[in-house]
Chain A
């Protein structure tokens, strides 16, 4: 940290510092220069989706847990927000739940509950690894969708809830304020996760990812760490869910259906499972394709109404051709161009690329070589007292 502080002045003058500064300025100026549609439907929407994808990238890259439950956890937070914030009488189905709390305390409650829900999902799935984990989280996500759909007492059934207002009021009336809130949330979650992966806890997560058996032998409670990681993922997904509920103003089972679950996965893979920033790159790309699908023509075939076909095809192509995602692709081009990228973060391991033999794979769960490629050496944390 001290090194960082001492060099911050020169860092600002370096090329990378200038680029970051320019990016921040761009983010700040953007809503002042762009029409409302671009501020809300493109940028804010992309931030919200990006945060959900970020939670998946974080869990996949640093915990080896490719969770398909992130959209469900985001949706859970949205529902909890609605229950906390709405008047009891505003529920469409006449159920009398609703606590009429102000927006921010409601959001806080929703985030706490989403974190707990993440821990519960984690407890159910902490002993499952790899593809089993994927299937189990998918089952939990789809199951949550059906619970929401058929339960009218708590979740309002297929109607859901309407009239959810955020602290900035209607997004349409004050797009810039809503946008800044989304940017702030995205930045805070991103930087927060960066901090976590550098911390001792984060290194332990990576140890659990790379070699659960050895970590167990060192005295760590592997299952507990996976539960905590899932809870953190639930929190980040919850941030996305709360913002999404404020953005739309209403929620229905559609926000946790299979399509939504898969959208989050697609965004994460599109950006690259090994790159936290990729979540946002993937989200921007996804939203742009979503909005402009009607004007895309391939071999004279218009995707006007067939957005999902386009997305499905694109997803298959990305998984086949570029499993490291767009950021991974750019990263490789950058490196072949002879520029070495500084790696300030402990390396996230992209499970998809590792499988395809492109990225270093976590060593299998057998006791063995002392070094794990890509992991900083020698700082395996010592077990606590």
Chain B
């Protein structure tokens, strides 16, 4: 494994930080310039991240050490396949979300737009930091920055509900942060290092009881952001946030950071060997499958579109964690790839919810009858991605679910195959009525039946993400060897066994 010292990961983090400063100092005086910074920085970030792909595909690792914090721990970036996968995903989705956000906040004439774009940029900076962290402490630092910078976005509307949503968000995530911190310090006293290693570094340290305890609190800690039940309560509440925030942060950056943390812990801190020895993998898989089933049932009962999507997110995140817990080549590949494919599909679904809201101010599913005739592009994108989430070929959700299903058979645990199938059925049950009623039912009220879409700045991004979901379903490697990065990561983790 070749290690290349490169400043690129640091640049990827810093570029948005600089962008955030430009945004806040430009302020309301020149909105177009401010939005230009957002777009410029998001594109720059994407280019920087993409420039690292060739190295990582060859199997090299890019490293950059900023400063030593304590003996054995540095503030350090290391770009491996898994981190890069997440980085590519988040930076790609930020570009579309930026464009969409501009359409959304201007369409609704939102208040405090500078604060909004500023925090958004900080969030993305933190997400990149999480993706490229070389060790648990660096990950934790950016994880906490992400938590804090998301708070103003969740409470953005500043209504009573929004403030309560913000409080709940902070209460859940910062408590989790404290728990994670404790576990990190404990691991540091056990091993003297915190560096991620494919296949884990805890093997041979500490008693089984201690390790089980650490695993439990780490998963519970990271599981809060990943929406694992019963720690998921903040996520539906946080749907009070503006839709682009829900889209990028609550379907991609924040919750995926939680999942990313969980997977780092499972695969790079504990590792397959240790989890098999302690028999923790199966417990975790059952724990996650509980969430898979229950969140599906919750989703069925929601009438608010964003809340339904939120529970669907919880459902999919749990599937990712379940896949990683099975620890077989296919299941890990599938679960990493599902981070990406779910990202593209879910962001489209949230974009659709936002576009409907901006155009018609409707938030509930029961009001959507016939809206497909007014907004065919939007609802078409919704239909594609909803089917994708349910696992219909040829949309990218199918590929990840296929690998996950294979993985459960490789692990010789058919139970999880059934969990996947049941969850796919529930996906159908809660998404297809929306598709049906929006296209085929006649509207109850005075819905405009003529083509009347949301602003193009909103429609284009959601159409793009829907198309990408479709393309990824047919050619998983279409963009920068997207699928290969995921499968390489899985290979490397299991190669350490």
A and B part of one assembly: no
* Chain B residues near A (Cβ < 8 Å): none
* Chain A residues near B (Cβ < 8 Å): none
